[in-house]
Amino acid sequence: MQFVIREMGRIARLALMAGLVAMAAIAVVAQDSHPARAVNTRIVISASPLGPSPEVSMLLFLPGDAPVQLYVWAADVTDPHGVGDYGVEFRYQPWLTGIQDFTIPSSNWIASTGRSATCVPNPPAILPDWQPGIGRAYFGCSTIGGAPPDGPQGNGYLSSFKVYPGASTPQNPIINVTTMTNLSYLQNPGLTAGNIPPADIPATKQDITVTLTRCADFTGTNGPDGTINIFDILYEATKFGLNTSSPSWNPVYDMDANGYVTIFDILIVGREFGRNCTAA
């Protein structure tokens, strides 16, 4: 009887130890699965002049679409000296997309702490033929002043511009996807007293993927009739679920060129409702 009691006590102690070990393991896993988030300084493209959100990383142009207005923001700047210099630069394929109305805000964010700001070139440069096959749009701003005052922190509006579709959009049977590369940068003001030059502020940079799609004219009495109507939308819906591995795959129905026909492709065709493809 004493043996049984001793064994039961031993088993209870082992169970208690196992439970404590399990609880510790769970606590470690929970701690590891929720690491502390460092603030991430970013240079983002926004659809709003009021803040860095909503961010825009993809644009889709249909034939005849108007340019899209965008805004460049510095987001979550935590450098102890703030921003003293910055540059905004994009490179792109000029036959697929382009930039226009590239402007510097009249109330320059980096001058908001009392430093004197100079931006060059002003207005910003837009060079569609900067290099063969490469366009470039850019400018840079720098500040001078004592330290303190340091440069601003947090979120700052850097510039605005419009993106427009290239000349290859309208009746080209090939959907084109290109990247507008963001080469913008942020620097702190350095320290005048110690003759310390400005230093780069690490920041993630947001590129823009630009998709130029075709006129979705699939139906008509004797083939495509030049106008997007409800029958074209319904026809696109019959292709839902197809992908590049499907026996009946045809890229003509993949309006965003991602290898799948999804609800987004149907919505793209819906956006074209009423368009005259021959006039695009």
CB environment 197-209: b (16+ within 10 A), e (fewer): ebeebebeebebe
* Tokens found for residue 23: 């609880």
Contact 184, 87 (CB under 8 A): yes
What pLDDT shows up at residue 167?
Answer: 67
Three-class DSSP category at 232: helix
Specify the CATH class of 42-212 in words.
mainly beta
Report how far Cα 143 is from the mean position of its chain's Cα atoms.
28
CA distance 52 to 43: 9
The pTM score is: 0.74
The one-digit pLDDT tens for each residue of the chain (280 residues) are 443 334 444 434 434 444 433 333 333 333 333 333 345 999 999 999 999 999 999 998 877 789 999 999 999 999 999 999 999 999 999 988 999 999 999 989 999 999 999 999 999 999 999 999 999 999 999 998 876 779 999 999 999 999 998 865 444 456 788 899 999 999 999 866 667 788 999 999 999 999 888 788 888 877 788 888 999 999 999 999 999 999 999 888 888 888 899 999 899 888 888 888 765 4
Q: Which CATH number fits domain 230-279: 1.10.1330.10, 3.30.420.40, 3.50.50.60, 1.10.287.70?
A: 1.10.1330.10
Asked whether the beta carbons of 125 and 136 are under 8 A apart, the reply is: yes
Could you please report the per-residue DSSP string of 68-119?
A: EEEEEEEEEE--TT--SEEEEEEEE-TTTEEEEEEE--SS-GGGTTS-EEEE
- DSSP secondary-structure letter at 280? -
> Which pLDDT score is estimated for 23?
35
H or E element, residue 9: helix 2-33
Query: What's the pLDDT score for residue 123?
Result: 93
Q: In the prediction, which pLDDT does 74 show?
A: 97
The residue with tokens 């679920």 is 241
pLDDT at res. 154: 96
For the chain, which residues make up each domain, given as ranges?
1-36, 42-212, 230-279
Q: Return the pLDDT at 77.
A: 96
Amino acid at 27: A
Q: Could you tell me the sign of the dihedral formed by the alpha carbons of 138, 160, 214, 205, in that order?
A: positive
Amino acid identity for residue 224 in this structure: P
